[in-house]
Amino acid sequence: MQKKQKGLVWFRNDLRVHDNESLTNAINENETVIAVYSFDPRHFEETNFGFKKTEKFRAKFLIESVTVLKRNLEKLNIPLLVYHQKPEDSIPKIIAENEISLVYFQEEWTREEMEVLENVKLKVLDSTNFKSTYNQFIFHPEDIPFDIASIPNVFTQFRNQCEKSMEIRTEFTPKPMPEDNLITNETVIPSMKTLGFTDFETDSRTAFPFGGGEDEAMKRLQNYFWGNQKTKCL
């Protein structure tokens, strides 16, 4: 009997279901799909400069974002496994236990993210394939109408040429997996206390009363473009 192809979506800085290329590809190309997010302990440790890389406001926003992501993935019958571990510790274990053949993720280019990716790859079998996408830009890097040597020095010239020659790519719409894809998930999203913080209530006077997660982001976009009287006349 031929084994089912199984895909793992590794969420990093793309904590959304809406218009997510990696998620859409995984659903379209596999019979079974699971997802994972790791709260990397290194992001909540104190640096050599005497402060934490992630402080309480961002930590709370992140918890809210992962909570919404988990709920929205469940609507697609996809479980989100959440760990408070280094990705290079949690992800290879998931790959081995679930016989994952393809890992889907958003490509990052900064040093720390690239090092984590390489550390994950070093701990898995060569038969595991990794499929990355760029899905975080207004314009896809492949669509920029310049090579490196000819990029204009002035941003306005760059923008004008891009707007003339490029088309926005069609958004990705992930479809639900079969109901039996939603396996039992006993992992837990860490609390503020687990991450080393005391929980707090947002001050009612804040100029930025935004909650984390794609649902709040979509509401913000809707209000900005269609609910604001000033933007309606643009």
Contact of 68 with 18, CB cutoff 8 Å: no
* Mode of pairing for the β-strands spanning 32-38 and 129-133: unpaired
pLDDT one-digit tens code per residue, 73-112: 999 999 999 999 999 999 999 999 999 999 999 999 899 9
pLDDT one-digit tens code per residue, 204-222: 898 878 889 999 999 888 8
pLDDT band at 192 (very low <50, low <70, confident <90, very high): very high
The second-level CATH assignment, the architecture, of 6-135+172-209 is: 3-Layer(aba) Sandwich (3.40)
**89-102: b (≥16 Cβ within 10 Å) or e:** ebbbebbeebebbb
What Cα–Cα distance (Å) separates residue 199 from each residue in 57, 63, 191, 192?
10, 11, 8, 6
Return the residue matching tokens 């006993």: 186
pLDDT at 2 over 50: no
pLDDT one-digit tens code per residue, 160-186: 988 888 888 889 999 999 999 999 999
Task: Indicate where the chain has its CATH 3.40.50.620 domain(s).
Answer: 6-135+172-209
List all residues 6 or more positions away from 65 whose beta carbon is below 8 Å from its beta carbon.
Answer: 15, 212, 213, 214
Instruction: Note the pTM of the prediction, 2 decimals.
Output: 0.90
